[in-house]
Amino acid sequence: MGFADQRFNVNLSILFTELPLLERPAAAAAAGFTAVELWWPWVDAPTPEQSELDALKKAIEDAGVQLTGLNFYAGQLPGPDRGALSIPGEESEKFRANIDVAVTFAESVGCTAFNALYGNRVDGVDPAEQDALALENLTLAARAVDRIGGTLLIEALNQPESPKCPIVSAPKAIEIVDKVNEATGLGNAKFLMDLYHLSMNGEDLPSVIERYAAKTGHVQIADNPGRGAPGTGALPLQELLDQLKKAGYDGWVGLEYKAGDRPSAESFEWLPREARAAR
């Protein structure tokens, strides 16, 4: 096996950011990809104008790519906020307002996978209060996603870069997945296995794959150190993806790495062009 046996998509919120949002789907297509994913594109607007949603839909459709993953509103990404649903007050209210907007938009372009970033700990607020709010909001999101046959993804970030985030290990993310599924009875919450974040946390990646592949709904990759393309760091990404496939994971692998100082289109030399289109 190898990279050619995977189904890759490009995260247009970290790659091709040298271009305006509406030009990125076509740029990914020109680079040979047929699938993309996005963080919520409007960091200050959980409920943007319909014209903005329509314009993004048209850009995706005109490019001939499939949107395979979308984040719910999560505040300023990249940035210090890194999540909203567990933050009392305005941020969690924005998350709730975003749920139906995001699900309706995603359904219009055939996307059924949704990443819900947990949110930082807030000084002066009881962590138990935040966790109760998070479960309530994740339950709402899981039920909304279920209406279109979708999957709710729970991601572990990494402690060095997100020191206030409480979800910084695979076991903790799995704990949240299990709690959501128990609360809803739907079983549509899954683990988002980001190999870069987990490696930054010092986790044993082969062990994580062995233990949690069956509960994984999406995978994202970047090399470490540096969060660059495969081959720029020390992670054996091809071996890890081979292990995932042998363990039964056959879903998407999101390219969520930084291109560095070069144009994004030049950062894919590690992946033969014929392996970029989804099969």
The predicted structure's pLDDT at residue 215: 98
Using alpha carbons, select from 231, 179, 235, 230 the residue that is nearest to residue 202.
235
Q: Which class in CATH covers the domain with range 3-268?
A: alpha beta
Q: Percent helix, strand and coil across the chain, each rounded to 5?
A: 40, 15, 45
- Which positions of the chain have pLDDT values less than 70? 1
Per-residue model confidence (pLDDT) at position 1: 56
Give the whole-angstrom CA distance, residue 57 versus residue 106: 9
Residues with Cβ within 8 Å of residue 153, at least 6 apart in sequence: 69, 113, 114, 115, 116, 189, 190, 191, 192, 217, 218
Please name the residues in contact with 170: beta carbons below 8 A apart, sequence gap of 6 or more: 156, 191, 193, 198, 203, 208, 211, 212
Q: Please return the burial class of 90, using the count of CB atoms within 10 Å of its CB with bins 0-12, 13-18 and 19+.
A: exposed
Instruction: Output the pLDDT for position 93.
Output: 98
pLDDT confidence of residue 276 = 96
Identified catalytic residue from 49, 155, 161, 239: 155
- Side chain identity at residue 216, one-letter code: T
Question: Is 256 in the active site?
Answer: yes
Active site residue 155: yes
Cis bond upstream, residue 225 (ω within 30): yes
Residue 79's pLDDT is: 76
pLDDT at 145: 98
For residues 251 and 9, the answer to whether their CB atoms sit within 8 Å is: no
Residue 113's H or E segment, with its range, is strand 113-115
Q: Which residues of 110-147 are buried (b: 16+ CB within 10 A; e: fewer)?
A: ebbbbbbbbbbebeeeeeeebeebbbebbbbbbbbbbe
Active site residue: 37, 91, 203, 256, which one? 256
